[in-house]
Amino acid sequence: MTFDPALLVAYAPRLLVGLGWTAALCLAALAIAVPWGFLLALLRRVHWSVARCVDVYVSLLRGTPLLIQLFLVYYGGPQLGLVLSAAQVGLIGLALYGGAYYAEIFRAGLDAVPRGQVEAARALGLSWRQTLRRIQLPQLLALALPPATGQAIVLLKESAVLSVITVPELTFQTTRMVTETLAVAEPYFALALLYWSAAFLVASIGQRAEAAVTRHLHLQPGR
């Protein structure tokens, strides 16, 4: 059998619909995961008991496969009275899973800011919020952007497992194409190309954001 580009043309609308689902779910999940991860990183600094709870959450979410977490909510949830659609489970799963990783990224970024700078800011009379906004956050952005971008790409690729719970995203549409046409090379070539293109776009946006943040820091007086 030869590679048939006509199959890609015929199924392009369906694949684009799947790509739209993937993009929408990933963007929505990131919109939740990033602030959720930052909040978790801050909560670790409130009290040791709160930090311990956050550590347990992060350990559980990072230490178990996303697919198992999705199964627990999608198939186990109804037994507890929690009935959600496949898309809702996919969004919540991606957001909570990603939030655990972003919590570690932001924790490492906050810890990397020299403690002497924080102590000097407090000695000058800056409040905790002012210190966070003026001293820690600018440096945190520069330190956390590269791993945060990498995690966004990981989350994009992890979204492929949503097809198992019938979310009509890119991998699900590709699997249907394989089933209907019995072709393998064309569908999975298109799948790989689309994921690579999306990942390349995310990486490019991350690099531009990193350059903008570091340029801003370099322009600040005294840096």
Nearest CA among 190, 210, 201 for reference residue 16: 190
Number of residues in the chain: 223
Contact between residue 51 and residue 45 where contact means Cβ atoms under 8 Å apart: yes
Q: Which residue did the predictor score with more confidence, 13 or 123?
A: 13
CA gap 125, 208 in Å, rounded? 35
How confident is the model over 110-138, as a mean pLDDT?
83
Q: Which residue did the predictor score with more confidence, 38 or 118?
A: 38
Question: The pTM is what?
Answer: 0.91
Place of tokens 């909040």: 39
Contact between residue 90 and residue 165 where contact means Cβ atoms under 8 Å apart: yes
CA gap 19, 11 in Å, rounded? 12
The structural architecture, per CATH, of the domain 5-219 is Orthogonal Bundle (1.10)
Residue 220 — pLDDT band, cuts 50, 70, 90?
A: low
Which pLDDT tens digit goes with each residue over 44-89?
A: 988 899 999 999 999 999 999 999 999 999 999 999 999 999 999 9
CA gap 194, 141 in Å, rounded? 29
Residue 216 — pLDDT band, cuts 50, 70, 90?
A: low
Instruction: Give the chain's mean pLDDT.
Output: 92
* pLDDT reported for residue 222: 44
Q: Say if residue 221's pLDDT is above 50.
A: no
How confident is the model over 80-105, as a mean pLDDT?
96
Nearest CA among 77, 70, 72 for reference residue 91: 70
* pLDDT reported for residue 128: 75
Which pLDDT tens digit goes with each residue over 159-179?
A: 999 999 999 999 999 999 999
How confident is the model over 144-152, as a mean pLDDT?
96
* pLDDT reported for residue 122: 79
Could you tell me how far CA 11 lies from the centroid of its own chain? 28
Contact between residue 202 and residue 126 where contact means Cβ atoms under 8 Å apart: no
